[in-house]
A and B are shown apart, each in its own frame.
Chain A
Amino acid sequence: AQSVAQPEDQVNVAEGNPLTVKCTYSVSGNPYLFWYVQYPNRGLQFLLKYITGDNLVKGSYGFEAEFNKSQTSFHLKKPSALVSDSALYFCAVRDRGGATNKLIFGTGTLLAVQP
């Protein structure tokens, strides 16, 4: 079965510092990995995805993620955090079995950026 884990419930970072939100995965076969962000009382917004190709994926709002096959990780990064980046971040993997491309989500990581 496919799964992702987000080991940190919350990450705190000062504005201007680099940020990392961690995600590890467990899949059979090649993983299709996604990051979404959720602002308060809003739906999920797509940030980026890894399907194949370069291990460093660039996405919206200056975010990027590094796919590491040997460590089965897909950590989300940003060189310089903004207060407006404060939100709930979800890592997800696409289910590879059955008739659907449904997403299997991690438990989410709350990012708090202090001014």
Chain B
Amino acid sequence: GAGVSQSPSNKVTEKGKDVELRCDPISGHTALYWYRQSLGQGLEFLIYFQGNSAPDKSGLPSDRFSAERTGGSVSTLTIQRTQQEDSAVYLCASSLVQGVQETQYFGPGTRLLVL
């Protein structure tokens, strides 16, 4: 079946603009994660959704970052007033929660460049 999809695949924006990144998880997967991959910070967790609620937002780096999930499916990560340090690859992962056996499956990522 189809894997996790993300759009756009690449995004170039100017400093100060807002951007929206989209994630379509694997059908039926109730858990959804956002991670960020950058040269300086490596791979870091941003936010976790279970259904439409976000019990863990601890990785969001500032209040310019927000995310939502609707219908227990698609998620949008929004970055307001983008800064150059926001340049990174944003990865989405989903999983069918199975307790200790849970495995996260990742999308191809959105490469964000803030000029």
Contact = CB atoms under 8 A, between A and B. Distances in A.
A100 B104 contact: no
B84 to A, nearest CB: 21
A100 B54 CA distance: 10
B55 A101 contact: no
Interface residues of A, number: 26
Given A43-B109, A90-B43, A102 B33 contact: yes
30 contacts: A34-B103, A41-B108, A41-B111, A42-B108, A43-B4, A43-B91, A43-B107, A43-B108, A44-B91, A44-B93, A45-B106, A46-B104, A46-B105, A52-B100, A90-B43, A94-B102, A95-B45, A99-B48, A99-B55, A100-B33, A100-B48, A100-B55, A101-B95, A101-B104, A102-B45, A102-B48, A103-B45, A103-B104, A104-B45, A108-B43
Interface of B: 4, 6, 31, 33, 35, 42-45, 48, 55-56, 58-59, 91, 93, 95, 97, 100-109, 111
Contacts of B56: 98-100, 102
Interface of A: 32, 34, 36, 41-46, 49, 51-52, 90, 94-95, 98-108
A42 B48 CA distance: 21
Most chain A Cβ neighbours within 10 Å, of B42, B95, B104, B109: B104
Contacts of A106: 42
Contacts of B33: 100, 102-103
Nearest to A92: B43
Nearest to B109: A43
B113 to A, nearest CB: 14
A102 B4 contact: no
A82 to B, nearest CB: 22
Contacts of A108: 42-43
Nearest to A51: B100
A95 B56 CA distance: 12
Contacts of A43: 4, 6, 91, 106-109
